[in-house]
Amino acid sequence: MINKNFYAVIMAGGIGSRFWPVSRQHTPKQFIDILGVGKTLIQLTYERFTKICPAENVYIVTNEAYRDTVRRQIPGIGEDQILCEPIMRNTAPCIAFACYKIARQNPDAVTVVAPSDHLILKEDLFADSIEKALNTASEADVLLTLGIVPSRPDTGYGYVQYTENKLNDYFHKVKTFTEKPNLELAQTFIRSGDFLWNAGIFIWNVKAIIAAFQRFLPEMHEIFHEGAPYFNTTKESHFIRTAYAQCTNISIDYAIMERADNVYVMPGNFGWSDLGTWGSLHSVKEKDDRNNAVTGNHVKLYDTSDCIVHVPQKKVVILQGMENYIVVDTGDVLLICKKSAEQQIKQIAADVKQQEGDKFG
């Protein structure tokens, strides 16, 4: 039986600009079937958490511009479960909004907070990890996170270093957090054997996270604490507009997780990818015998290898002599970019938006 005190908060306010030109401001990647499986990333994430938490306890935090998109894609969700941010303010205000609101409703709530656009291949292992974490967080005032056993020295991920000091057999005390390191440092991390990729998935009881806000972000705590009477009332949206205007733009990692002394990490290996870039999508998609991952029904490849191709289903596309490229055609934009240069796509998208108009951004 699913525990009525278990809650999930799905963060779905980002734009996913490194997946441009498919992901744009009007339709970010979490609302796209980027995997080609017949469901969008947010639909897959929502289904994943309704197996762990009561459906009425699953909240989605998104930009108010995407409220109707969420309604369309998650038809069973209650109006009060879609939390709309008036402006983008990073993950700390987003998490404060959700957790202070849930605490007002249920002071005994234990919450998992996760992005809406990650891939999980081993769903059963993931659910088992989350349930262990929720049970542990219901017994102790700790801040838990999931770490991924690294398979390579990737410079695109943050890293969590852990000690042998354990809680409940599964959770290691966190020693350090390191944001995206250079290759040499990433290689050192892998060799040391006590580093994990930071998956950006958090688990805590609402009292523990509110205490952390009070200690490390007192101004933000004050804003949401004073607004508590407005949560779950008709005045909530007006309060949130005022609150967000006063909030610092800061991530939960930088503001709290890197500074708190009650942080533990659970190593996991459940087929995780943050699907942050076209290259990460290439690594998880089915590929042909020359390591090409293709979306499109009429793509002809000659002397081409290690490419990711994403083109309209009816379009005939011929590629010859290409190696390690990203090729994306959305009808109004054609992107051809070396995979090794994919970190530039975010800047390219910004340039095109500035030069060609908002609809391209």
pLDDT in tens, 155-192: 888 899 999 999 998 999 999 898 888 889 989 898 88
Residue 180 Rama label (left phi>0; alpha psi -120 to 50; beta): beta
For residue 33, CA distances in Å to 24, 66, 130, 189, 335 come to 14, 16, 25, 34, 19
The number of beta carbons lying within 10 Å of the beta carbon of residue 108 is 11
Q: How far apart are CA 264 and CA 257, in angstroms?
A: 10
- pLDDT of 21 reads 95
Q: Which residue has the tokens 């050192």?
A: 188
- pLDDT of 110 reads 98
Q: What percent of the chain has pLDDT over 90?
A: 82
Q: Whole-number mean pLDDT of the chain?
A: 94
CATH number belonging to domain 6-273: 3.90.550.10
Q: Three-class SS of residue 180?
A: coil
Provide CB contacts within 8 A for 132, sequence distance 6+: 168, 170, 266
DSSP 257: I
Output Rg (C-alpha) for the chain, integer angstroms: 21
Q: How confident is the model at residue 224 (pLDDT cuts 50, 70, 90)?
A: very high
For residue 18, CA distances in Å to 15, 151, 281 come to 9, 22, 11
Q: How far apart are CA 12 and CA 116, in angstroms?
A: 5
pLDDT in tens, 307-320: 999 999 999 999 99
Q: What are the phi and psi torsion angles at 133 (to 5°)? A: -65, -45
- pLDDT of 36 reads 84
- pLDDT of 2 reads 87
The number of angstroms, rounded, from the C-alpha of 249 to the middle of its chain's C-alpha atoms is 17
Q: Where in the chain is the domain with CATH 3.90.550.10?
A: 6-273
Q: How far apart are CA 7 and CA 176, in angstroms?
A: 27
Q: Which residue has the tokens 């991920």?
A: 157
Instruction: Extract the tokens encoding 189.
Output: 């991390």
Helix (H) or strand (E) holding 179: none
Average pLDDT over residues 38-42: 95
Per the model's pLDDT, the better-predicted residue between 215 and 276 turns out to be: 215
Average pLDDT over residues 271-283: 89
Judged against a pLDDT cut of 90, whether residue 81 lies above it is answered with yes
For residue 93, CA distances in Å to 122, 210, 332 come to 30, 12, 35
